[in-house]
Each structure stands twice: as structure tokens, then as C-alpha cells.
Amino acid sequence: MNIWLNFLIDSLAFGAVFIYGSTGEILTEKAGHLNLGIPGIMCMGGAGGCLVLNAIGKSALPPFVIVTLGILGALAFAMLCGGIYAFLTVTLRANQNVTGLTLTTFGVGLSKVIMTKLDTVVYLVSTRDYFRWPFAGRKDSLQLLGVLFFLAIAVALISSWVLFRTKTGLHLRAVGENPGTADAVGINVTRYKYLATLIGSGIAGLGGLYYIIDYMASQEAYLSVEAWGWLSIALVIFALWRPHMTIIGSTVFGILFSLGSFITNVSWIKVTMATIPLLKMLPYVVTILVLIISSIRNKRENQPPASLGLSYFREER
Amino acid sequence: MSSKSGSGAREPLVHLSRRASISPLKAWGIRGAAILLGLLACGLAAFLLIEKLQQSPEKIGDFYYSFIRGSFSTSRKLWKFLKNTSILLCISLALTPAFRMRFWNTGGEGQTLVGVLGAIAVAFYLGGKIPEWLLLLLMLAAALLSGALWGVIPALFRARWGTNETLFTLMMNYVATYLVSYFLVIWVPSGSSSLGKLKYGKLPQVYNEHLLIILIVVALTAGLYIYLNYTKHGYEISVVGESVRTAQYIGINERKVIVRTMILSGALCGLAGYLIAAGADQTVTVNSAGGQGFTGILVSWLGKFNPLMMILTAALIQLLNQGAGQISQDFGVNNALPNVIIGIVLFFIIGSEFFINYEIHFRRSGRKESAGRAVK
């Protein structure tokens, strides 16, 4: 296969990690909650999935069941973390930034403690090819497009459809823009905030599992999940709070991020080692530029949800 | 929450109201109880995570004793505890003025890191060519300037166009990280990308290598306490934090306050970077700030943005950190354990704030009681 095409598919596959992370974060932010715990949640999602796979990886269960149980494990752990966040910020009205950062500290730490106890041969080597269906075993980067990759695309598209084309989505956005008004028209603010945070966390958790089991499929992969969590939060801005835009945005991020290691392999492009960090800096610089430009243009639909970061207390409105 | 209003509807089972005030004793009682509950939960988590405890549960005493041992068993550990608390406190102090005006500076990590980078850059290029005292001064200036620069960029955009500062400062952290790796590649052409300890630009020893850092941070704590509580600048910061409209009404130039405060906040992070560079590490890596820019946010918030209280919260975090580090050594667990312990205890403290800020009323039997409250 052409190396450029190979590179593009690789970037697309890498981008799916961010699709999960930022789609999850968008759903949470649309309910008015800035969840800085996403990096921790992604780590815990990965750890949860691997923990389950570690128990069943060598069993005689059909591959389909193993994959499903792995995904459910990731969802369960990630949603448990999301539940802690939701309980503290929605019910106990705690500061969202502080809660999120604590969750990241906790989640990243716990996932490392869990991952070092697992057996790579069982959770990774024996299950990797199940996750890489239908292209498992190919030698080119097409093998990276597995079950979880296609699920990521589907999740992003469905989330966009729900957010912008259904009544539920309208209600959710109303909660994020002005919970007082939403409450007044009879929308159950607490329920929407909880559901958005839990579902968003579950989706983000799958990103961690995908990165560890499918995209990297290596023993040390879990160590870099945190960094991708932060990049996912950046991508939310880049995608202007639209889940379907994360598909494009994540591919761009994926290209920018792997460009550094890729172009050193292309003989006719002369780059020094020093360019690589600068290329890796680009996604963040681009995000900052998008943030600045969208705030200068000040178009309503490109702004963060109006009540982002604020707790809602009915008796204070 | 979903009770329908109208005649015949029952009063909800639980009803919340914001407390007008709470006695400090009660507030600290609630926080203390939260920390104890958190530590109890850590013990439970330990049984799940540590095999040695599962085999011999009687070692749980050792588990808790390690929190003391980690910081106080030898004088070396005690000095390490004091020094690390000071540096964490310095970063937390730096973030505090911004938080007081509700500017969520999540960029302490990056502002500290560029401070380290600035100081080390000066030491790298000028070390040995100029007198050591001049070098140390130039390093300080470079650290303060780079920190201030990193802090003021988001502030300018926030002041002019209302650009979201939480996300902006967060992104600046990563720009700083890759800036450091860029310079490491340039400075260390061999490709090992580890600079190693520099020979020049080390703060002089006062009694031992840690005391000077501690003294500087103690002075900074007192200074910032006075600045925030007893000066015009501090007052303006509080007003902008409380209500931008009030600030405009009484003639405070809110944009100016935001920019000025973020220059201060960034510069103080730069100072922390200087202490790390010239006082402790004498080198720069992408992990020079070691996540303390984020931990500092927690310390500052836990200390109610009060510099004096933050001494306690910084010490608590560092105590848990070093204690859990001791545990992971003694019980053979992954060295990420401190993060789990700190996370659990913080969850409980964060949750406890609710019981300090809000009063919970349960539904009483009998209508009279509820009618009486409704009138009030």
C-alpha cells in the first residue's frame, strides 16, 4: 500500500481515541459540566476493559462475547468514575474544576496500579485480533480499523443526531445553556445532568480501551492515555461542541501528532529532530487559535454552553 | 426534585437551603471528619489493591503508620517534606490571586515549567561566563518574565474578547511541555534528550540546601496574605471576583485588574520554577513541574484561597503524597499509589464542603412544622 495512504489510515485510526474522548466530553459539557476528569476516566475505562479481558482472555468464550464483555468492562469502570463526578458536582454542587482534576489524579493513579497487576499475554495478545475484526492479520495499517474504530464513528454521528435533531438533545442543550429556564419549563435538570455525565464518561472510557487494546496494542500503551485525554478536551473546542466534527478534528490531530515520526521516514523530506516537538505542539496551538477566533467572532452557536462550569441550585435562581 | 407544585402536593423528603453562616469550629469539625472518613476509605481500597495486606490483614496498622513514617521518620525525610510542601505552596500561592477574581488559571503547570526553562536557559548559555550572583539574578529575572508571559497571554484575550481562560491556560501547559522538549533536542544533540545537572546557577546553602527555599516561600506567604487582604490591588481583585458589574459601577477597570493579576500569578509560578531550577533540580525536563500546577489548584481551593490556610492544605497533600510513597515502597505496589490515596481523601473533602455550605432539612411529620417554615 502507498505509504501516504497508510499514514492517512493510521492517523484516522489514532484519531478514534480522541473521537471517544471528545464526544464524551461534549455530551457532559452540553449539560453545563466541564469535566476535567476525562483523562482519568479514559485511563479507568482502559483499565476496566483490560481487567475483564484479563479474566476471560484465555477462556473458550466466542470472540464476539469476549469483545462485548471487554467493552462492558470499560463502560462500567468509566461510568463509575463519571458517577463519582456527577454525584459530587450535581448533587453536592462541588466545584467542577476541582472535582474533575481530582478525578483525573485518582483515575490515572488507580489505572496504573491495576494495569501493572494484569498479564499482557492474557488481556492483550490473545484478544487483540478479536477487536481488530474484520481486518485482523493484515500487514498494513488497515488492521487498525477494528470494531472499536467503527463504533467510534457511529457514536459520534449518533451523538450529533441526538443532540441537534431530537427533543432529548434540545432539552439537554437547554440545561447547559440555562438550567433555571429548563427547570421552569419542566425539564428534570438533575436527571439530564446525571445521564449526560454518565453516558459521556462511558463513551470516553471506550477511548482508553481502544488505544490500549487496538491502536497501540502494547504493554506500555496505558501510560500515554492521560495525555490523549487532555488532547480530547482540546478537541472539544476545535470541534466547536459538535460530535460529528470530532471525526474531522481528530483526524487532523492524528495527522499532526504522527507527522513528526512519519516524515523522518520519508527520504526526500529533510527535517531535524528539533522539528518533531514543534509539530507535536501544533494541535494545541491550533486549538488555542480556534478558541481565540471563535471568541472574537462571538457567534452564539460556536460558544461554550452558557452555564458551563456553574452548579445549579434551584433555590438560588 | 420532581415534586409538582400545587395544592395537596407533599413537601419533598429532603429540602436544602444555603447556610447564612457556620461556626468555624463546626466547619473544621466537618472537614476533619471528612479526612478521617477518606483515610478509612483508603484502608478499604488498600485491601483491594495491595496483595500483602490481603495475605496479612493485621498489617493495616503499618499501612496507616506509614503516613507518619513517610514524612517524619528521619530528618532527611522531614526536610524533604518541608521543601516539597514549600514548592507546592509556592505554586498554589501563585494561582490564588487569579482564583480570587474567578479567573480559573489551570495553567500553573505550564507557567511553572516555562519558569524552569527560562532559568535553565540562562544558566545553560551564561553559566561560568559571568559571576554566580549575577547569573542567579538573571535566572530569576528570566523565570519571572517567562512565567508572567505565559500567564498574561490568556489574560489579554480574556480581558479583550472574553476568551474562555480555563481552556486557554490548559492548552498553554502543553505548548510549554513541547517547548521544553524542543529546547532539550537543541541543547542535547546526542538524542538522549536529558540535559543532566548543570554546574552553575545553584542557590547558596543556608544551613542546608532546603532552608533557603522554605524561607523564601514563608516570606511569600506573608507577603501575598497582606497583598490580598490589606492593599487596594487585593481589594480590586476581590470585587472583580465577586461581581464584575459592581467593579464597573465603582470605577474599577476590570480588564486592567485581570491583566495585572495574571502577570503576578504567572510571575509567581515562574518564581516556583526558579526555586525548582536553581534550588533543587538544576536541570529541566518535561516533568519539572511534576503535575504540581494541577495539585496547586486543589491546594488553593481547599485552603479557601486564603494563603495562611493553604499552608495546612499544602502540608496535608504532601503528607499524603510522601506517606503513600512510603506505602508503595513497603508493600511493593506501583508508585502511582499516592495519586489514588490523594484522590480518595480529596473526594471526601470536596464532598464535605456541601455540608458546610448547605443545610439539609428532612420532611417532618405534621403539617404545622412545614407551614411554619414556608412562612419564614
Q: What is the percent of chain A with per-residue pLDDT over 70, rounded to a whole number?
A: 96
Most A CBs within 10 A among B156, B164, B179, B344, hence the mutation to make, goes to: B164
Give me the mean pLDDT over the A126-136 stretch. 84
Q: Tell which B residues from 95 to 114 touch A, by Cβ distance under 8 Å.
A: 104, 106
Give me the mean pLDDT over the A117-130 stretch. 87
Q: Rounded distance, CA A280 to CA A254, Å?
A: 10
Looking at residue B7, what is its pLDDT?
44
Across the 376 residues of chain B, what is the mean pLDDT of every consecutive 10-residue run? 47 79 87 94 90 85 89 92 96 96 93 97 93 95 97 95 89 94 87 79 86 95 97 93 87 93 97 94 90 93 93 95 90 88 95 90 60 42
Q: Rounded distance, CA B60 to CA B65, Å?
A: 9
Q: Which residues contact B125 (CB under 8 A, 6 or more apart)?
A: none
Looking at residue B370, what is its pLDDT?
44
From chain B, the residues in CB contact with A18 under 8 A are none
Q: Rounded distance, CA A62 to CA A285, Å?
A: 45
Is residue B139 one of the residues assigned to a domain? yes
- pLDDT confidence of A301, banded at 50, 70, 90? confident
Looking at residue B9, what is its pLDDT?
59
Is residue B361 one of the residues assigned to a domain? no
ipTM above 0.90 for this complex: yes
Looking at residue A87, what is its pLDDT?
96
Q: For residue range A40-70, what is the model confidence (pLDDT) as tens digits? A: 999 999 999 999 999 998 888 899 999 999 9
Is residue B219 one of the residues assigned to a domain? yes
Domain total of chain B: 1
Q: For residue range A175-218, what is the model confidence (pLDDT) as tens digits? A: 999 999 999 999 999 999 999 999 999 999 999 999 999 998 88
Topology of A3-316 in CATH?
ABC transporter involved in vitamin B12 uptake, BtuC (1.10.3470)
Looking at residue B2, what is its pLDDT?
43
From chain A, the residues in CB contact with B291 under 8 A are 105
Q: Read off φ and ψ for residue A28, nearest 5 degrees.
A: -65, -45
B41 lies within 8 A of chain A by CB: no
Looking at residue B374, what is its pLDDT?
43
Looking at residue A310, what is its pLDDT?
80
Looking at residue B368, what is its pLDDT?
46
pTM score, whole prediction: 0.91
Alpha helices in chain B (DSSP H): 24-49, 51-55, 60-72, 75-100, 108-126, 132-161, 165-187, 211-230, 232-242, 244-249, 254-274, 292-302, 307-330, 337-357, 367-375
- Indicate the burial class of B250 (C-beta count within 10 angstroms; 0-12, 13-18, 19 or more): exposed
- Contact between residue B184 and residue B120 where contact means Cβ atoms under 8 Å apart: no
Is residue B342 one of the residues assigned to a domain? no
pLDDT, averaged across chain A: 90
B238: CATH: 1.10.3470.10
Q: Which residue range(s) make up the domain with B110?
A: 75-332
Is residue B87 one of the residues assigned to a domain? yes
Is residue B32 one of the residues assigned to a domain? no
Residue A257 has pLDDT above 90, yes or no: no
Q: Rounded distance, CA B140 to CA B272, Å?
A: 10
Say yes or no for a CB contact (<8 Å) between A277 and B358.
no
Domains in chain A: boundaries: 3-316
Q: By C-alpha distance, which of B295, B231, B236 is closest to B260?
A: B236
